[in-house]
Structure 1
Amino acid sequence: MTSTLDEQLHEFLSAKLGSAPKIVDLTRVGIGRSRENWVFDLVDAAGGREPLILRRDPEGGLVDTDRGTEFAVLRALEPSGLPAPRARWLDADGQWLGKPSLIMRREPGECDYRVVNGERLLAERTALARRFCELLAEVHAVDWRATGLGEVLDDPGDQAALAELTRWETVLRQDQLEALPEVDVAIGWLREHAPVSARTVLVHADFKPGNILLQDGRVSALLDWELAHLGDPLEDLGWVVQPLRHREHLIEGAWERDDLIRHYRDVSGTEVDEAALRWWVVFSTFKTAVMQVSGLRAFLDERSDEPYRPTRRVLRTLLAAITERS
């Protein structure tokens, strides 16, 4: 008879804690595009409750990532000062929990995917957008060598652009089910124009309000480190200002692309190479299309319930980005 997740979790935590845990309110929350998320409280003998979240691999999604690497990144970030969740336990191969999983502290706060262009006052939304930009600069300022991240993640040196292009083209070719000439054009353009990176930093790789928790108007946590790697800081900037995501980060007439880049330059103390940033904008649009290719493959393989696929809007935007940047 197959054990339920509740039973599996009890067995796993009993082995980790050396005693039978009391687990309450185990509930699945949201329908993540890449992970299963289960929240629960761990109650100790004195009645204290620790809020936790179990992140478990789904059968399929927009992108495949490794729980062991995510766990190691979170552990390395604990002394950094970044508002990253505290990792607690790892089931790297799914021996205990059925699928590769990690358990981390459930941080307080709420997620508002569209907060920058939501219902708050303009001044408040602009202040949050500026704070998000500052948080991104803080990610890039982490001393990844001192924290030990260099032992977990590979340093691509000045070839970060080609390394990421190769990585995502490999994903594309593994999951592709139909001809996508627009994407092939983009790959050719990206390979021909790949910039050399000026420095290596910790890259979040999915930085957005949807991965930020807010409590009382302040950032309480930056979530979803599953794609984090070492690379070019312009990768994150390109992801933020790419045309497919601009409403998540920019406010028309109040916080435009140039405002964001200028503020990032001021708080990070580094210059932004506009030509290189343009490349990363095209790359980010390409990466979005590849994620949707993977989502469609997972759906057809019956590993996902949602048939993601590159829409005509995404492909048109990709070609337009190339034309505009050439």
Structure 2
Amino acid sequence: MAIIYKKYEQVARKLYPDAILLQVEPLAGGVSADVLRLDLRLTTGELRSIVMREHGPSHSGHSTSLEYQLLEALFRQGLPVPQPLCEDASCELTDNPFVLLSYVPGVSGLPNRASNSYLDTAAEMLALIHGSSTKNLPELPDRLDPLPEIFEYLPGEDDRHSLIEFLRNQSNTTYQGTSRLLHGDFWPQNIIWNEGTIAAVLDWEDAAIGDPLSDLACSRIEIRYQFGVHGMQRFTEAYQCRRFIDRRRLALWQIYVSAAAQHFMGKWGLPNEREAIMRLETKASIDEASSTLMSGEELI
């Protein structure tokens, strides 16, 4: 344990020479990164906490350099993100690249009995992100068209053959609107709340530029997992009060996001019962979106 503390103390001293590490506290993080809070005593006697986000071996998102540049640009814009403090990809102090961030106090996620105002506020934040300036951002990947990638994720079951055939016959599915900043993984655990307001939006490793409905589709399925169809509808309606939604295009992205979730869900380390419930919800999500595209039914 002393050796581990020494390593993290050296990490902290990249920012604060001679700082004393008091405590290392694991924080909720994603599958591809370890997130720790480092509690320090500075040479002035001041107590300060910072966050270390270390990319794991399975990390598939942006590099620490790009993550730092993006957070720096968003922080300067005034969006609620942790302030990036430094990044290190040398692997001299740690096994993997890491980013150091300011610590934002609060609680991540939403309680299961959260009031509608929380869902409304989350939807407002997603709309704010999509309306923010893309000037002065580092170069991010495009996310414009769910095809042909969608075919990698859709299961080849008999009841999907008609949907797959329908999708193969679609053309001009590339987004034609103004490309927007996309978070890429906007779900409750990536939001820090403090007294009913959003203090920070975390985990921008999948950020992109492109069709905002891809982001909305991702958020909808995550909200559905926790709050059901009615919570998802409430979130969608709150978003629609601020930004236009093309329901057919949203249905296309909903199939993409839900099929991708089914494809990768087994790697998320979920309890078996929880995974089974989520698979049922993603299947229902694909079914509903398919009906919208193929039969003209209103998307939930």
Q: Do the structures match in fold with TM over 0.5?
A: yes
Taking a change above 3 Å as real, the CA distance of residues 133 and 318 of structure 1, as seen in their structure-2 partners, is closer
Coordinate RMSD, CA, aligned: 3.5
Taking a change above 3 Å as real, the CA distance of residues 34 and 248 of structure 1, as seen in their structure-2 partners, is same
Q: How does 1:1-326 map to 2 (within 5 A)?
A: 4-17=3-16, 19-30=17-28, 32-60=30-58, 64-113=61-110, 115=111, 117-118=112-113, 120=114, 125-145=115-135, 148-149=136-137, 151-155=138-142, 160-162=144-146, 166=149, 180-182=155-157, 192-193=169-170, 194-242=173-221, 245-248=223-226, 252=230, 257=233, 259-267=234-242, 270-292=243-265, 295=267, 313=280, 316-317=283-284, 319-321=286-288, 323-325=290-292, 326=294
Deviation at 1:195, TM superposition (A): 4.6
> Deviations for 1:180-205, whole angstroms, at most 9, x for unmatched residues?
42599677655654353312111111
Deviation at 1:240, TM superposition (A): 2.3
Deviation at 1:286, TM superposition (A): 1.8
Deviation at 1:315, TM superposition (A): 6.7
Taking a change above 3 Å as real, the CA distance of residues 16 and 107 of structure 1, as seen in their structure-2 partners, is closer
Taking a change above 3 Å as real, the CA distance of residues 15 and 209 of structure 1, as seen in their structure-2 partners, is closer
> Deviations for 1:89-131, whole angstroms, at most 9, x for unmatched residues?
1112423221111111110101234x3x41x5xxxx1111111
Partner SS for 2:13: helix
In the aligned structure 1, how far is the partner of 2:14 from the partner of 2:235?
48
Contact 1:34 1:60 (C-alpha < 8 Å) held by counterparts: yes
Taking a change above 3 Å as real, the CA distance of residues 169 and 41 of structure 1, as seen in their structure-2 partners, is farther
Structure 2 segments unaligned to the other structure (5+ residues)? 295-300
Question: How many residue pairs were aligned?
Answer: 287
Question: Amino acid of the residue matched to residue 130 of structure 2?
Answer: H
Partner SS for 1:181: coil
In the aligned structure 2, how far is the partner of 1:276 from the partner of 1:86?
35
Taking a change above 3 Å as real, the CA distance of residues 315 and 276 of structure 1, as seen in their structure-2 partners, is closer
Q: Which has the higher contact order (CA 8 A, sep 6+)?
A: 1
Q: Relative to structure 2, which stretch is displaced further, 81-90 or 39-48? A: 39-48
- Identity fraction in percent: 20
Partner SS for 2:24: strand
Deviation at 1:262, TM superposition (A): 4.0
In the aligned structure 2, how far is the partner of 1:111 from the partner of 1:315?
23
Taking a change above 3 Å as real, the CA distance of residues 192 and 98 of structure 1, as seen in their structure-2 partners, is farther
Taking a change above 3 Å as real, the CA distance of residues 102 and 141 of structure 1, as seen in their structure-2 partners, is same
Taking a change above 3 Å as real, the CA distance of residues 15 and 84 of structure 1, as seen in their structure-2 partners, is closer
Q: Relative to structure 2, which stretch is displaced further, 131-140 or 192-201? A: 192-201
Contact 2:258 2:283 (C-alpha < 8 Å) held by counterparts: no
Deviation at 1:135, TM superposition (A): 0.5
In the aligned structure 2, how far is the partner of 1:187 from the partner of 1:100?
40
TM-score, reference length from structure 2: 0.80
In the aligned structure 2, how far is the partner of 1:181 from the partner of 1:210?
32
Question: Amino acid of the residue matched to residue 117 of structure 2?
Answer: A
